[in-house]
Every structure is written in structure tokens, then in C-alpha cells.
Amino acid sequence: MGDGAEDIFDLFGLTEYEETALTELLRLGQTTAPNLAEATGVPKARIYGVLDALSDRGFLKIVPGRPKEYQAKPPAEILDRATENQRQSYEEFETAVEQRRDAFLSEYEPRYERASASISPAAELFHVVDVGEPSERETRHIYEQATERVVVISKAFEYFDAVRPAFESALERDIDISVLLLAPDHLSAENREIQSEVVGELGGYDDVDIRFSTERLPWRGTFADPSMDYDSGTAILLVQEDEIPNHMRQAAITENGAFVAGLKRYFDLAWEYESDSLPEVRSFEE
């Protein structure tokens, strides 16, 4: 999804006909359904249903008359109404879920517990998701659920924009965030440029600690709330496999407190003994 003016219609969940009709109404002003059908190419048999749907969403008003006419609401009002529609939809969804919560838990928690009893400890250690949107979604969840600390280990933090809202929300909750990046001399020219841009953006946050690993990173990922009592912690990680493209890779997720504590031990050692606060950029060699 882009950031242009027309791209916002994708957020509204409109059909192609609805988007076309609304866009044209914003240009034309007030007009009749037959005229709008003629101007947009929306079939006359469909145009009234399209206009009714837009009216139900609060995006246009109907002017009585013979024939009646249709006029788009002001652009700012359309945006406000779209936001309100989403809020109401979420509240209705939340209410519907809560009404069914007890029945759902009564039915499925016993089944889950019986099924889980036969799962080996090794099988419970990890589950995996595809790299890309699924792994970014899980990473955002780690930020959202963190209560004390988040640690990021990454080559260039190239996915920062995908997790930025959750990242900023964590900072607003006074979560400590540390970022360990790979020193630029270990990166390709392309990744070095990406890292430089991300570091520039991270520099705008007062409470983010950044260092650069002088050694290659065997794995990268995000973990939160490690405890040396092994009673908390969540992590998502993937091992370094440059020969495998990202779309063919999977990331491992664990809530095993002992494993997350081990990741913290690795991070602490790398942060203390194998990293610099400012990277020394040398020429990259393949």
C-alpha cells in the first residue's frame, strides 16, 4: 500500500465500483445516479446499490428531489467517518467475542490441555512462522507485550519501518530498548546504506542504546523481558543463512525462559566485548 491520496481508499475496504463512484463524486460535486453511472462506467443496474453502500458508510449525502441527487461529504469528514466506522466495527467485534468467551473457553480449554499433555518438552520449545509479514507481526507483538526490556540483534534493522509503531509505543511505556547491529564493514554496500538510514532515525530517540558488533552475528532477532530465574521472556530469531532468500526462510519463536536467558547471556557478552559504540567503516569485500 502506498502513501498517496488515492491509496487511502484501500484502507476503507471499498469495492472497485464504490471507490470509483466516490472518487468521481468528489470531482463532480452533486449529481444523479444515471449521470454518475455514465461518468464512471459503473453499470446502471449496480449504481444505486453502490450509492446506498457509500451512504450507509456516511461518505455521501442524498439530496431529495425528482430525481434525487448524491453529493460526497467533505474529504476531512470522509476520513473522520471512516475512522469512526472502524472504531465501531472493532467495538462490536470485541463485544461479540466477550459474549462468547466463557462458552469458548469451557469447550476448548479442556481439549487443548488434553492434547498438550502429550507434547514433548522439545516440541514446546519453538514454533515457527514465515519470514516477512508473519515474522514482523510476531515481532510487533513482542514489543507490545514487553514490560521491562527489548533487545534487537540485526544486521541493518531493515524492517524497522514495519515495527516502528510498536517500537515507539514501547518507548512511551518506558521500556528499555537496546539495538546491536552488525558493523558496516561486514555489510554489502546496499545493506550499509540501509543501516545508515535506520541508525539516523534511531538517533532521534533519546532512550535507545545502539552498538555495532565487530564480529559476524550467527543469528538475529528480538527478545523481551529475559530473566535469570528463567520465569519470563519471549524471543523471535533466525539463524544467519545468507544463501537462502528471505521468502524461503522461517523464524523461530520461543517463550522458554531458560532459552531467552541464554540469548541474554550471548547478547551481554557481545555487547560488552565484541561491539563498538561508533562503527569503523572499511571497504566491503564479498
The residue among 53, 84, 118 that closes a domain is: 118
Interacting residues of 96 by C-beta distance below 8 A, sequence separation 6+: none
Interacting residues of 21 by C-beta distance below 8 A, sequence separation 6+: 36, 40, 42, 47, 50, 51, 54
Whether 170 is in a domain gets the answer yes
Return mean pLDDT, the chain.
89
pLDDT digits (tens, 9 = 90+) for 143-160: 999 999 999 999 999 999
- Strand-strand pairing, 208-213 and 176-182: parallel
pLDDT digits (tens, 9 = 90+) for 177-222: 999 999 999 999 999 999 999 999 999 998 899 999 999 999 999 9
Whether 284 is in a domain gets the answer no
Tell whether 128 and 104 lie within a shared domain. no
Work out the average pLDDT over 36-62. Answer: 93
Cα 164 from Cα 59, distance rounded (Å): 31
The residue among 118, 152, 172 that closes a domain is: 118
Tell whether 7 and 100 lie within a shared domain. yes
Tell whether 51 and 167 lie within a shared domain. no
Whether 198 is in a domain gets the answer yes
Residue 130 β-bridge partners? 250
CATH code where residue 27 lies: 1.10.10.10
Whether 184 is in a domain gets the answer yes
Q: Supply the range of the domain harboring residue 113.
A: 1-118
Cα 132 from Cα 104, distance rounded (Å): 31
Cα 167 from Cα 157, distance rounded (Å): 12
Whether 254 is in a domain gets the answer yes
The residue among 83, 118, 153 that closes a domain is: 118
Tell whether 61 and 9 lie within a shared domain. yes
Tell whether 110 and 129 lie within a shared domain. no
Tell whether 114 and 153 lie within a shared domain. no
- The C-alpha angle with vertex 12 and arms to 169 and 36, in degrees rounded to 5, equals 155
Whether 283 is in a domain gets the answer no
Tell whether 104 and 153 lie within a shared domain. no
The structure's pTM equals 0.62
Given a contact cutoff of 8 angstroms between Cβ atoms, the answer to whether 142 and 167 are in contact is no
Q: Which residue has better confidence, 119 or 51? A: 51
The neighbour count for residue 146, using CB atoms within 10 Å, is 22
Whether 13 is in a domain gets the answer yes
Residue 254: enclosing H or E segment and its boundaries? strand 250-254
**How long, in residues, is the chain?**
286
The whole-number pLDDT of residue 249 equals 81
pLDDT-based confidence at residue 170 (cuts at 50, 70, 90)? very high
Tell whether 260 and 227 lie within a shared domain. yes
Tell whether 111 and 140 lie within a shared domain. no
Cα 222 from Cα 238, distance rounded (Å): 10
Tell whether 249 and 137 lie within a shared domain. yes
CATH code where residue 225 lies: 3.30.870.10
The whole-number pLDDT of residue 283 equals 41
Tell whether 109 and 127 lie within a shared domain. no
- The C-alpha angle with vertex 164 and arms to 171 and 11, in degrees rounded to 5, equals 130
Q: How many domains does the chain have?
A: 2
Tell whether 162 and 240 lie within a shared domain. yes
Work out the average pLDDT over 53-75. Answer: 91
Given a contact cutoff of 8 angstroms between Cβ atoms, the answer to whether 41 and 16 are in contact is no
Whether 281 is in a domain gets the answer no
Distance of CA 149 to the CA centre of its chain: 19
